[in-house]
Amino acid sequence: MTIDIELIKRLKDLTGVGLTDAKKALQDSNGDFDKALAEMRKKGLTKAEKRSERETRSGLVGNYNHDGRIGVIVEVNCETDFVAKNDIFVNLVKDLAMHIAASNPDYLDENQIPKEVLDNISKEYTEKARLEKKPDNMIEKIVEGQIKKFTEEHCLVSQPFIKNPDVTIKDLLNDHISRLGENIVIRRFARIALGEINN
């Protein structure tokens, strides 16, 4: 089966794999680009998970200022200065700072959510479900769903990326880990909005 070279290049650019791998993925999927992309992402994710164990000592501190009213500073780490200076990495840091300005996450990931916050959500929705006379076997699933929803809204890595809501920030990071061949970690961030008082 002959595969259009432009399709191969497009798949290569999106996944960070070599031309041969991109061509093979398209052949395996009978030319179905979306199917090939899904398969490559699965493979890329596996590579990303292996890389996540590697140490990150380089990187960039990026910032974003929106109309002098919202300011963001974010530290994103990678393994080498070579990648830290790469335009793809630099643009990722800019995108992350802009996303934080727009989406205002409270936590980096679910591990940063205080236990008392999760306990309060659990208690609130358990009581609500009982008042609504939901069956006992459904209450646990309702509470799990609300905690998942809270995590997606308040944790940076779980939020849909503002430039492409089909992918989360975690997906975006994994995509860049595959493309750049290094572990990438968001270390910390801060967001200040004019007139807001942080507790």
**DSSP states along 9-63:** HHHHHHH---HHHHHHHHHHTTT-HHHHHHHHHHHHHHHHHHHTTS---EEEEEE
Q: What is the pLDDT of residue 37?
A: 76
Domain annotation covers residue 198: no
Q: Residue 105 carries which DSSP code?
A: -
| Closest among 107, 108, 94, 105 to 66, alpha carbons compared | 94
Domain of 82 in residue numbering reads as 58-108+155-193
The answer on 122 and 34 residing in a single domain is no
Mean pLDDT (the chain) is: 86
Domain annotation covers residue 9: yes
Q: What is the pTM assigned to this prediction?
A: 0.69
The answer on 169 and 103 residing in a single domain is yes
The pLDDT tens digits for 140-192 are 888 888 889 999 999 999 999 999 999 999 999 999 998 888 889 999 999 99
The answer on 39 and 134 residing in a single domain is no
Domain annotation covers residue 199: no
Domain count, the chain: 3
Domain annotation covers residue 30: yes
Domain annotation covers residue 187: yes
Q: What is the pLDDT of residue 112?
A: 92
Residues of the chain with pLDDT under 70: 1, 13-18, 41-55, 198-199
The answer on 172 and 92 residing in a single domain is yes
The answer on 119 and 96 residing in a single domain is no
Q: What is the pLDDT of residue 52?
A: 54
Q: What is the pLDDT of residue 47?
A: 55
